[in-house]
């Protein structure tokens, strides 16, 4: 089995590569499993790029076996030695950035500059994981009681797994595995079967960086593959990013099997525009946040809540003007602003939501349906869509569309805007555009959302923080990456010891011990 030319330097060569087979990466080797396969498309052309193997139960078991066998030695590897491997890995990621990003664009469709931005944010987490020696330091209390010392240590869990979505085929996996392996665990990655090639290249580069075989493994597959991971008792923890129904299901099933689970679900991210906002900068930020990556981001802004009709009228007019100049085309052309959706199914789903919005009475100001690009008529392209006068009971407001559809709602006060956000089932991200610091402080203190921006449309936390939402955007207690990753991928062990003098014989004590 061969990986489809991961080290090609030509974007055209990657896009035009003849369909081939992509398997799995287990114990430092490429492993075929042709029992079931799926198609991987080039979204810009609609053509099949390659066939990907969908791991059977035996292949999943082989990956878990390899990870379990590698764990004892890896957990005993000093943290600074693990960090040295990650330092080398970071350099290899930077050296191979163009190759990785070409694969992202060829299989996801996002514009190449956007792919570089994705990879850069993933590398930030690798950089943070290189400080694992400091992050894993325990806590010590000398003389916690008479001649008693107490301390805690952070021990790795064992074999852990990550299930990641199609929209960030490099970044989201790197939200998980660098911290997991830095903490001393071994890792199994199940990337999306829609754009699997970047994950295999990430695995090969880890091997090149000196990671022992079996510490990191990649199994491609679908929901059946995920179920095999859930059923395997040797998998101690599972991280997931995807839609809320699946996140809820994985959290419930995994927890029932005694696994530690963090499952990040969907979002409906609101931007609130106040009358005093710097509207030019706000609208520019909204354009990127709503239509970048064709709206296929869990932090995408899909709702704009304008306070006051005058604010709304100005915002809508500026959005319409900028949408008319939006450049849409294949992601390999960096001059484009927006590429295609990931699949034909995604195109049909987004189109149906636009149909529903019209039927429900929203005012359609920019219609992305029927967009066609010369020479790419079979690609999964759609134009930027803008609705005004959307109401909270409409499906285009309630549901996560995951496409380039922006809804404008009009309210008469900040309180009304915050009530909309707080009452929505999702609590992933939100932002406020204003020049008033007092109002901004009130908003950030009181809004019921996990990640909040002020004059920042995409408030994605940096690597030394942690990423996660509230309400039905997150199932589990801990966020991904940052300090929460150490807590998620380790378990605490606390020791209490006393060394009484040999010459002293103590009487039995029947009262509960106290310091």
C-alpha neighbours within 13 Å on the C-beta side of residue 436: 11
The beta strand positions in 249-362, using DSSP E, are 260-264, 269-273, 301-307
157, 500 in Cβ contact below 8 A? no
* 15 close to 44: Cβ distance less than 8 angstroms: yes
Q: What is the spatial distance between Cα 68 and Cα 354, in angstroms, rounded to a whole number?
A: 48
Token pair, residue 253, equals 């099933």
Give the 3-state secondary structure percentages of the chain, helix then strand then coil, rounded to 5: 40, 25, 40
Residue 5 near residue 195, CB atoms below 8 Å = no
For 22, 139, 264, 304, 407, the CA distances from 123, given in Å and listed in that order, are 25, 29, 21, 31, 33
Cα–Cα distance list, 270 to 63, 91, 334, 357, 384 (Å): 41, 37, 28, 18, 18
Exposure b/e, 124-163, CB count within 10 A at least 16 = b: bbbebbbebeebbeeeeeeeeeeebebeeebebbbbbbbb
Written as six digits, the tokens of 113 are: 């500059």
Q: Which residues in 5-40 are b (16+ Cβ under 10 Å) and which e?
A: bbebeebeebbebeeeebbbbbbbebbebeeebbeb
Residue 511 CB coordination number (10 Å): 5
Enter the DSSP assignment of 368: -
Burial profile 91-112: b = 16 or more Cβ within 10 angstroms, e = fewer: eebeebbbbbbbbbbbbbbbbb
- Strands 260-264 and 186-190: what pairing? unpaired
| 407 given a catalytic annotation | no
Name residues whose C-beta falls within 8 Å of residue 32's C-beta, 6 or more positions apart in sequence: 1, 21, 23, 24, 53
Q: Which of 183, 298, 306, 407 is catalytic?
A: 298
CB distance 49 to 107 below 8 Å:
yes
As annotated, the active-site residues are 298
């Amino acid at each position: 089995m061969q990986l489809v030319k991961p080290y090609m330097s030509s974007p055209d060569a990657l896009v035009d590569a003849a369909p081939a087979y992509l398997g799995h990466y287990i114990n430092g080797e490429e492993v075929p499993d042709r029992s079931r396969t799926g198609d991987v498309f080039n979204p810009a052309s609609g053509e099949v790029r390659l066939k990907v193997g969908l791991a059977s139960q035996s292949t999943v078991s082989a990956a878990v076996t390899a990870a379990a066998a590698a764990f004892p030695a890896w957990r005993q590897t000093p943290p600074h030695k693990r960090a040295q491997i990650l330092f080398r890995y970071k350099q290899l990621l930077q050296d191979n950035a163009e190759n990785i990003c070409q694969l992202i664009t060829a299989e996801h469709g996002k514009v190449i500059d956007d792919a570089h931005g994705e990879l850069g944010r993933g590398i930030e987490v690798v950089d943070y994981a290189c400080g694992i020696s400091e992050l894993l330091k325990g806590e010590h209390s000398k003389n916690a009681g008479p001649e008693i010392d107490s301390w805690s240590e952070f021990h790795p869990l064992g074999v852990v797994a990550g299930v990641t979505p199609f929209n960030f085929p490099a970044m989201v996996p790197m939200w998980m595995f660098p911290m997991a392996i830095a903490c001393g665990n071994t890792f199994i990655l199940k990337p999306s079967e829609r754009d699997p090639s970047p994950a295999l290249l990430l695995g090969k580069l880890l091997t090149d960086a000196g990671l022992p075989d079996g510490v990191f493994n990649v199994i491609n597959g679908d929901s059946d593959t995920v179920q095999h991971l859930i059923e395997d008792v040797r998998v101690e923890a599972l991280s997931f990013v995807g839609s809320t129904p699946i996140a809820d299901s994985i959290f419930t099933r995994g927890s029932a099997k005694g696994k530690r689970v963090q499952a990040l679900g969907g979002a409906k991210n609101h931007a609130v525009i106040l009358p005093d906002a710097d509207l030019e900068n706000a609208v520019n930020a909204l354009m990127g946040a709503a239509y970048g990556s064709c709206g296929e981001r869990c932090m995408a802004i899909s709702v704009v809540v304008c306070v006051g009709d005058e604010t709304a009228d100005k915002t809508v007019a500026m959005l319409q003007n900028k949408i008319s100049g939006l450049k849409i085309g294949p992601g390999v052309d960096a001059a484009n602003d927006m590429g295609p959706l990931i699949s034909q199914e995604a195109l049909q789903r987004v189109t149906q939501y636009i149909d529903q919005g019209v039927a429900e009475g929203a005012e359609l100001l920019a219609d992305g349906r029927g967009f066609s690009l010369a020479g790419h008529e079979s690609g999964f392209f759609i134009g930027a869509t803008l609705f005004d006068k959307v109401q909270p009971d409409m499906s285009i407001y309630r549901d996560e569309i995951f496409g380039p559809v922006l809804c404008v709602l009009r309210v008469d006060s900040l309180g009304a805007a915050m009530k909309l956000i707080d009452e929505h089932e999702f609590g992933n991200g939100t932002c406020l555009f204003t020049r008033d610091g007092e109002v901004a402080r009130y908003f950030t203190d009181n809004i019921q959302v996990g990640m909040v921006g002020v004059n920042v449309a995409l408030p994605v936390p940096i690597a030394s923080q942690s990423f996660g939402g509230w309400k039905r955007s997150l199932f589990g207690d801990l966020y991904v990456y940052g300090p929460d990753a150490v807590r998620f991928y380790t378990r605490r062990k606390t020791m209490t010891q006393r060394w009484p003098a040999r010459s002293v014989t103590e009487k039995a004590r029947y009262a509960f011990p106290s310091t």
